[in-house]
Amino acid sequence: MGPRAHPREGYTDNVVDLMVGKLSRLPAPTQEALQQLACLGNSADPTSLALVSGTPEERVHADLLEAVRLELIERHDGAYRFVHDRVQEAAYALIPEPSRAGEHLRIGRLLVAHTPKDEREEVIFEIVNQLNRGVALISSPDEREQLAELNLIAGKRAKDATAYASALTHLTAGRALLPEDCWGRCAALTFELEVHRASASS
């Protein structure tokens, strides 16, 4: 006999399933807007939602109106946020699993393209969290190297904030992106990732 699921886990899965059913009865544009919000996280501002959905902000507000009315999400400090983690999980579950990595990669690339270089550090965690979830689809060596550099920035910021577990995650992800000949191709980047990774894990 296999291990029994924890009753609470089963209950949690059930709640998400019920919520998926509820969300799937919403108008298609509202479902799509909720999926974009779920990809971005628990909350996002209308500007980011407009960017990732490729629609004007007015359209974002219109598409999310029904979800606000049903109290699935709320406006808080100008941003939209899910009222509960289970609602976010259900909205994310509406995205077919094979499409999720591609969606995160698309969003990450948009964030990189629309964030000036000197402002990237401010939103570095949002950028790398998206791109790292789509990393399996990145085949270009140049793009992989760029993502390794972004992970280095995120790792250093996390380390400066004494968030060592987060720092180690980003620095390890960055190192894994580099090619086998990294000491020849990008020695300085490889060295920095290795040094910071060693100090974050000690």
**13 band by pLDDT with thresholds 50, 70 and 90:** low
Q: Each residue of 112-166: pLDDT tens digit?
A: 999 999 999 999 999 999 999 999 999 999 999 999 999 999 999 999 999 999 9
pLDDT for the residue numbered 51: 96
Contact of 64 with 33, CB cutoff 8 Å: yes
Q: Reduced to 3 states, what is the DSSP secondary structure of residue 179?
A: coil
- Greatest Cα pair distance, the chain, in angstroms, is 57
pLDDT above 90 coverage of the chain, percent: 85
- For 95-119, the DSSP string reads S-HHHHHHHHHHHHHHHHHHS-GGG
Q: Each residue of 25-41: pLDDT tens digit?
A: 999 999 999 999 999 99
